[in-house]
Amino acid sequence: MDFSLTEEQIQVRDMVREFAAREVAPYIHDWDARGEFHREVLDKMGEAGILGLPIPEEYGGLGLDYVSLALACEELEYVDTFLRVIMSVHVGLNSLSLWQWATEEQKQRWLTPQARGEKIATFALTEPNAGSDAGAIESTVVRDGDDYILNGAKMWISLADVADHFLVFASLDRSQKHRGLCAFVVERGMEGLTTASIKGKLGVRAGNTGELAFNNVRVPAANRIGEEGEGFKIAMSCIDQGRFTVGAGAVGLTRAALDASVRYANERETFGVPIGNHQLVKQMIAKMVAGEDASRLLVMKAAELKNRGIRNTKETSLSKWYACDVALQSADDAVQIHGSYGFSNEYPVERFLRNARGAVIYEGTREVHQLLQADYALGYREDKPLRCPQPPAVGFEQESHEAVLA
């Protein structure tokens, strides 16, 4: 088993690291403290090619593999979680899903400008009364000639106030629960679509999060992704991609907590020695070291399966669950190592802790992933192959792929 990175992967990692250090790191303390989202960051990410990193060159992307995507997410979240969230919703949940499920005309219309960073995209599944239970979605669509009439609301949508394209899921027949869902691309400017930001978040304060409302929005049938009734299957395949980016980003947050803790432990003295000499401080730092390495290995295992076009629902779930739990524990230990200073925003570790808390909720709660892993172990869940319009893996020869239906 070869754990070394290719020259191309190293270049991607270093490029994204330098971008985040230059464009965001000097300002993130103030942006987070003021709860400011800076739209120009998206433009700069697009110019650098980051927003199209895993999308084939024929659709305006860089055509790179999933290891490169994981490395990019890690480097972005090392600086702040809001940067990785952009990758999750724009790339993982939307663009990669369009590449898998959209028609050629739809890819040219939406995917190409997204990969170039000319248009910003997001994903809209969660509702005020429907999160983990996607079958309980209350938003509805009714066919009306060549259009669908969309009504309902979405909640906790990243980039809600800045996205141009929304991948929206609604029910054609609520009595069918998840089997009645359909997927659509809704475009900003459609009559009846309104968005609003959510204030007062615990973490990811430099990111834009909001809600959507649909009041008799007329969506052309040409905007439907996949067939009627395939919405749940599409949503679950989207989430598999999103979970991968979340787990990869969590490795970066753990690394940031470790680096901050090591610096402080070598500078701060108690009882005449740096606190790094105290055994219980060493214990917390050692846990971060082990957690970072184990998390990265789980993420890279999922990345390799994706690169080979092999179904990876179980592996991606495990990497997301474990890496996010490690990041939360590492951030908490980092605050403890910093003592009272960790309780203020003079040091970045309190931001790490606030940001880490959300990741054990979104993209499948910790409890959902525990149930998934137990069901696989007990034999209650199987990887049943389902046909896809296209495999999601990019930048290499495809071997095989089965869709995700969790």
Active site residue ranges: 363
State the SS3 of the chain: CCCCCCHHHHHHHHHHHHHHHHHCCCCHHHHHHHCCCCCHHHHHHHHCCHHHCCCCHHHCCCCCCHHHHHHHHHHHHHHCHHHHHHHHHHHHHHHHHHHHHCCHHHHHHHHHHHHCCCCCEEEECCECCECCCHHHCCCEEEEECCEEEEEEEEEEEECCCCCCEEEEEEECCHHHHHHHEEEEEEECCCCCEEEEECCCCCCCCCCCEEEEEEEEEEEEHHHEECCCCCHHHHHHHHHHHHHHHHHHHHHHHHHHHHHHHHHHHHHCEECCEEHHHCHHHHHHHHHHHHHHHHHHHHHHHHHHHHHCCCCCHHHHHHHHHHHHHHHHHHHHHHHHHHHHHHHCCCCCHHHHHHHHHHHCCCCCCHHHHHHHHHHHHHCCCCCCCCCCCCCCCCCCCCCCCCCCCC
Which tokens hold the place of 375? 């069901």
Dist. CA 343–CA 37, nearest whole Å = 24
Dist. CA 323–CA 328, nearest whole Å = 9
β 165-171/121-124 pair status: parallel
Contacts of residue 279, Cβ cutoff 8 Å, sequence gap at least 6: none
Dist. CA 21–CA 17, nearest whole Å = 6
Q: How far is CA 15 from the centre of its chain?
A: 20
Dist. CA 256–CA 352, nearest whole Å = 8
Q: How many residues does the chain have?
A: 406
